[in-house]
Structure 1
Amino acid sequence: MLLSEKRGSCEFQSEPSADLTQKKPHGQREDCTVDPSLSGLDEDVMTDSWRQHRKHVFVLSEAGKPIYSRFGSEEALSSTMGVMMALVSFIQAGGNMIKSIFSDERTIVFLQKGPLVIVSVSANRQSEQQLRSELLHVYHQIVSLLTQACINRIFEHSKNYDLRRLLFGSEKVLDSLLDAVDSEPSFILSAVQCLPLASSSRDALSRILQKAITPNLVFSILISNNLLVSIVQEKMVVEDARLKPTDLHLLFNLIRASSALQSGEKWTPVCLPLFNHDCYFYAYVSYLDPPQCRVCLVLLSTDREDFYALAECKKKIEEAVMSQNALQCVANCQLYSVDNIGVAKLRHFLYKPSDVSDHHRQLSQFTCPEMEMPYRSQEERIHLLDLYRNMQRRIHSASQPMKLIYHSTDRETVLTWVTSRFELYACFSPLVTKRSAIREVTRLLRWLKKEEDRLFICSLPKYSTTPQTDSSSLSLS
């Protein structure tokens, strides 16, 4: 293992091991490997195809050492990253900080977090704020693998340290994250999407999780196809250290991108940076329905020696779901279609409620239907999400915020509506008038209210353990 958590501190120990076993009870990190075809690492940086990517992301250290590039190898781009760092240093020498550069065709955004500099070069129409939010996700994903305390300590000891040594094998996790940022609406709304499920079925699964507990277990999470099924938490988790959507996004991405976590029972340290950026949780990851691998169980503990205790919890959960046939509802569940809603000419929508009770507000959620024609292809899907991003940029503009936008083109009509109760992006077929769109959205809102218990987790179930330490340790502070 590379790092160890000691209630608020990190210890630099040794290089990570590439050796993988079925069980790693002492917190050894699983190698994060993904199909190499998903990576742009070997792409020639001198070609036109490399230049024509819609977005590039670079990570480098304050000393100008390359750490990561979304497309092309860091070695081939070392001179480019050197120029970036020289520009950052030049501006800093004048007592300022470079934030962004704009041209007719590109937007370049800089984010400096401690000893790391992260840069986005984008050819699309996203705002500086949106691009900076994406860079923050990249930074947080790196922190989730190493912890912020360790990153700072390493560069305090050696400013020229090559961080790629510690991130070796994890580049594909960052690749997967950036793919998801472009192709998943959860990053647009900074919210988590739940699997649409009857509240009785979700409650039954939550009760099973609540009964399978052990000291130091903090969160029990069920995931299906990257959608949240259920989450329960320890009662003693402090209120100012709630689990944020970004933490779940990073956790989901790590599981999705790491092939080593997709079989058997795996044990890996993971930092949830918005919960506590300096320490690890220890994650027990296992699928409840092999070989289909549709329902993933994640148990997060504060104790690095908890593997076997959590394996016992998983065994209890497995026995309960089998005896109650509780996974059948998940297996049969799919995203809903706009055809089932009864709203004329509606093609797609994103909906995020905001007038919710305190326990609901602990975890921001959204819902959307399955993308259907004409948005089935990846290209058309990205087109629609870009349209949503553009609407979000306009309606949340710092200089001229708005409450409602009606946007019509020859391809589609989008109505964006933000109130104190919700944030809604509704896409209709072209030629729909503003009055008609508002009338149909009113119908949509009634349907969403009716289906609220199925589409959202309206309360976060809790359980109580008998901790081996005082309750403050559960905050990882």
Structure 2
Amino acid sequence: RAMVFVLSEAGKPIYSRYGNEEALSSTMGVMMALVSFIQSGDNAIRSIYSDDRKLVFVQQGPLVLVSVSRTLQSEQQLRQELLYVYYQILSMLTQVSITRIFERKKNYDLRRLLAGSEKILDRLLNLVESDPGFLLGAVRCLPLPASQRDALGALLQKAITPNLVFSILVAQSQLVTAVQERAVIEECRLEPTDLHLLLNLIGASSAFQAGEIWTPICLPRFNPDGYFYAYISYLDAECTVCLVLLSTDKESFYAVSDCKKRVEEAMRTQGSLQVLSGGLQSPSYSVGQVGVPGYPGELPPAAPVHQRQLSSSPSPELEGPYCSEEEQQRLFDLYHYLHSRIHSTSRPLRLIYHVAEKETLLAWVTSKFELYTCFSPLVTKAGAINVLTKLLRWIKKEEDRLFIRYPPKYSTTPNPGKGTKGGRPDGAENGFFAGL
């Protein structure tokens, strides 16, 4: 997989995906020397290509992020991967805090504030390279009958308190529903990137399974300079169903905790917890359910994206020859290749029929969906398109179960703004690192 480095403009190591930062400090020093040399000519270094690898550079304020890769990922995809790392760091510290720190002391060692965060960043990079939601810019949704999803959304709509901005229900690491304050939706929607970062933060730490957690969290695509105050609590003993409530008021822990109690009680009364924790609900769907045999795996389309709709995506179970981790990664590398061809900045495409050594793949992008499919190696182009037509017909029939099409809304008083302003530069409130 790709090597990833994060360092400051002064060349101070902050993070490395593999190996110790101190041991790699000389390597990071060479990278920073390249950045500085190019900057001296009023230019910015973007990438370096050699025979078997590529280096991609991203500078965000006082931080420099570098990826060294031999994979099929394009420069654009590697740049997006580095931005995810940057956003995850912002989710813990905020942009304004990092800028203020390095304005005061250019050679500051940011690892003091990020101590214990390596596990979070490691897990994020693994997800970016293996979870189709990151590739599609969409959030994985738990397949659920529309009536059940609507009922759960209604519960969250009723369990509110002033300054509560987002109520998010997650099960089996997949999104069940997300309810937003009405005034916030008019201003800005909840981005899939922010949900990815939030869910990764929760999944990377066992500390969130200990009980009720109240911690500042930044959603960088929503507002990179401010904290929300997140109430995080699992609702079942197996720690598969998690409720996340985001408030702009750091003093509202007890009011938000009361909202959780109301949600939990109503869900137990309805029997929803048993369904979401896996007793009655499959985490995904199989190819056989679609009724179009002949292809071993596929990435389903992202839902149409617009201002009042979450970009969401279900994901099927991988079958056939893709049971091992090695084969799954090989297939996903092929999807990365197709994605880079489809979204090429110089020559974007709408349809690709690609015959590989062990399988045939087809990628198709329209204004309404983005679809990547994998077939057995002998399928013809006409046969693949015929299967896709049936698949899209099935998805249309099941879309209310597979997608979150329109997130529910509620209103509280007073109306919240775009997160809290002026994040703390010392990171002292991020107490969840202690349990990583």
Q: What TM-score does the superposition give when structure 1 sets the normalisation length? A: 0.86
Letter in 1 for 2:167: S
Q: Which amino acid aligns with 2:374?
A: C
Q: Which residue pairs with 1:349 in the alignment?
A: 298
- Are the aligned partners of 2:359 and 2:376 in contact in 1 as well (CA < 8 Å)? yes
CA contact (8 A) 2:156 2:179 kept: yes
Task: Give a deviation string over 1:403-426, Cα, whole Å, max 9, x none.
Answer: 111111231111111112211101
Aligned partners of 2:68 and 2:391: how far apart in 1? 38
Q: CA deviation at 1:344?
A: 2.5
Query: What does residue 428 of structure 2 align with?
Result: none
Question: Aligned partners of 1:433, 1:224: CA distance in 2, in Å?
Answer: 39
For 1:359-399, what per-residue CA distance to the aligned partner results, in whole angstroms no more than 9, with x for missing partners? 22xx2112221112211221111111111110011111111
Counting aligned pairs with the same residue, the percent is 63
Q: Is the 8 A contact 2:138 2:302 kept in 1?
A: no
Q: Which residue of 1 aligns with 2:377?
A: 430
Q: Does 1:473 align with 2:417?
A: yes
Q: Which residue of 1 aligns with 2:287?
A: 338
Deviations 1:171-215 (A, max 9, x none): 110011011111111111111110000001111111111111111
- Report the equivalent of 2:183: 236
- Could you list the per-position Cα deviations for residues 15-67 of structure 1 after superposition, in whole angstroms to 9, with x for gaps in the alignment? xxxxxxxxxxxxxxxxxxxxxxxxxxxxxxxxxxxxxxx31000000000000
In structure 2, the residue matched to 1:309 is 255
1:284 corresponds to 2:228 = no
CA shift in 2, pair 1:104/1:229, >3 Å: same
Q: Distance in 2 between matches of 1:405 and 1:114?
A: 38
Task: Kindly provide the CA deviation profile for residues 245-302 of structure 1, in whole angstroms up to 9, marking residues without a partner as x.
Answer: 0000000000000111122111111100000000001111111111x11100000011
- Cα separation, partners in 2 of 1:409 and 1:190, compared to 1, 3 Å: same
Asked if the contact 1:192/1:245 (under 8 Å) is kept, the reply is: yes
Question: Structure 2 matches for 1:56-455, cutoff 5 A?
Answer: 56-237=3-184, 239-290=186-237, 292-330=238-276, 331=278, 332-334=280-282, 335-353=284-302, 355=304, 358-360=307-309, 363-455=310-402
Asked if structure 2 preserves the Cα contact closer than 8 Å seen for 1:216 and 1:474, the reply is: no
**Compared CA separation, residues 238 and 409, structure 1 to 2 (3 A):** closer
- Distance change (3 Å), C-alpha of 1:64 and 1:474: closer
Q: Give the C-alpha shift of residue 357 in structure 1.
A: 6.3
Q: Distance in 2 between matches of 1:373 and 1:256?
A: 28
Q: What is the alpha-carbon distance in structure 1 between the residues aligned to residue 346 and residue 250 of structure 2?
A: 48
SS in 1 for 2:59: strand
Q: Structure 1: how far apart are the matches of 2:417 and 2:411?
A: 14
Contact 1:236 1:474 in 2 (8 A): no
Tell me how far apart the structure 1 counterparts of residues 306 and 7 of structure 2 sit (CA, whole Å): 42
The answer to whether the 8 Å contact 2:10/2:106 transfers is yes
Deviation at 1:353, TM superposition (A): 4.2
- Quick one: distance in 2 between partners of 1:172 and 1:460? 31
Distance change >3 Å, CA 373–CA 419, structure 1 → 2: same
Contact 1:149 1:278 in 2 (8 A): yes
Unaligned 5+ runs, structure 1: 1-53
Deviates more, 1:255-264 or 1:150-159: 255-264
Once the two structures are overlaid, the 10-residue window that deviates more, 377-386 or 63-72, is: 377-386
User: Aligned equivalents of 2:225 and 2:63: distance in 1?
Assistant: 16
Question: How far off is 1:307 after superposition?
Answer: 1.2
Distance 2:192 2:222 in 1: 10
The 3 A distance-change label for structure 1 pair 64 and 391 is: same
AA of the residue aligned to 1:413: T
Paired residues of 1:241 and 1:276 also in contact (CA < 8 A): no
SS in 2 for 1:473: coil
Question: Any idea what SS the aligned residue of 2:82 has?
Answer: helix
- Contact 1:408 1:431 survives alignment (8 Å): no
Aligned residue type for 2:417? S
Partner amino acid, structure 2, of 1:407: H
**Is the contact made by 2:3 and 2:18 (CA closer than 8 Å) also made in structure 1?**
yes
Contact 1:346 1:429 (C-alpha < 8 Å) held by counterparts: yes
2:219, 2:227 within 8 Å by CA — same for their partners in 1?
yes
RMSD after superposition: 1.3
* Alignment-mate amino acid for residue 56 of structure 1: M
- In the alignment, is the contact (CA less than 8 A) between 2:232 and 2:245 conserved in 1? yes
Cα distance in 2 for partners of 1:299, 1:59 equals 31
Q: Is the 8 A contact 2:227 2:419 kept in 1?
A: no
Aligned position for 2:426? none
What letter matches 1:328 in structure 2? Q
* TM-score, normalised with respect to structure 2: 0.94
Deviation at 1:355, TM superposition (A): 4.3
Task: Tell me the distance in 1 between the aligned counterparts of 2:318 and 2:226.
Answer: 38
Runs (4+) of structure 1 exceeding 6 A deviation are none
2:163 maps to a residue whose letter is N
